[in-house]
Structure 1
Amino acid sequence: MKPTILVCCASSIATSTVIAVKVREIMEDRGFDVTVAQSSFAEMSSKVEMVHPCLIMVTGAVTAPVGIPLLVATPFLTGIGKDKVIEQMCEIVQSALSGG
C-alpha cells in the first residue's frame, strides 16, 4: 500500500486543495508514489482513522495524533521555508516506504 499524506486546513476547501496539488506534484517529481488526502481540522481525527497517513500537513495550530509526524504546510503558500519542508516531507515518506 502506498503512503498517504493528509493535508488539513480549517474548511478543507481552498487552502488544503492548493497545498495538496503542490504536494502531489513535488512527490511525483521526486519519484514518490503517494496518495494525498484532504481534511478539515474538525474532521482530521476521523480521516486519520480512515486513511492511516504517514504524514499530516496542516495550515494552522492543531495537535496531530500520537505517532504521526506533523508539518506546517504554510510554506507552500508563502514560499518561505518551502525547501526545508519539502526535505522533511521526503524523509518522512521515504521512512514510511522503508517500513520505518
Structure 2
Amino acid sequence: MAVRVVVACGSGVATSQTVASKVNRMLKEKGVDAAVEAVDLKSVDRYIDGSAAYITIVKNTKEYPIPVINGIAFLTGVGKDKEFEKLLKAIEDFKVR
C-alpha cells in the first residue's frame, strides 16, 4: 500500500493540486511509492492520521504529529531539494513505524 502525503492550501484546488502533481512526479522519478493528496485547509486534520507528511502552502501555526514540509519551495524552486529530502526521510521513517 502506498504511503499517503497530504498537501493543503486554502481551497484545496489550484495551488495544492500543482504542488501535489510536482511532488508525485518527483517521488515517481525516485521510485517512491506514495500517494500525494491535495485537500483544503479545513480538511487537513481528517487526513493527518495515517499520513507520512503534511506539505503546507500557507503559513503553518498549528503543531502536527507528522513532519510539516514547506510547499512553497515546490512552487518557487527555492529550497526545493532540501524540502524534498525532508519528505523522503518522513516517508522512510513512516514505513519503519
State if a TM-score over 0.5 links the two structures: yes
Superposition RMSD on alpha carbons, in Å?
1.3
| CA–CA distance in structure 2, aligned partners of residues 64 and 53 of structure 1 | 15
- The 8 Å contact of residues 56 and 64 in structure 1, kept in 2 or not, is answered as no
Matched, 1:5 2:30: no
Matched, 1:81 2:72: no
1:58 to 56, 81, 84: 56
% same residue: 25
TM-fit CA distance, 1:72: 1.1
**Structure 2 counterpart of 1:15:** 15
Length-normalised TM-score, structure 1: 0.87
Matched, 1:71 2:69: yes
Please list every run of at least 4 consecutive aligned residues from structure 1 whose deviation after the TM superposition is greater than 3 angstroms: none
Length-normalised TM-score, structure 2: 0.90
TM-fit CA distance, 1:47: 2.8
Gap regions ≥5 residues in structure 2: none
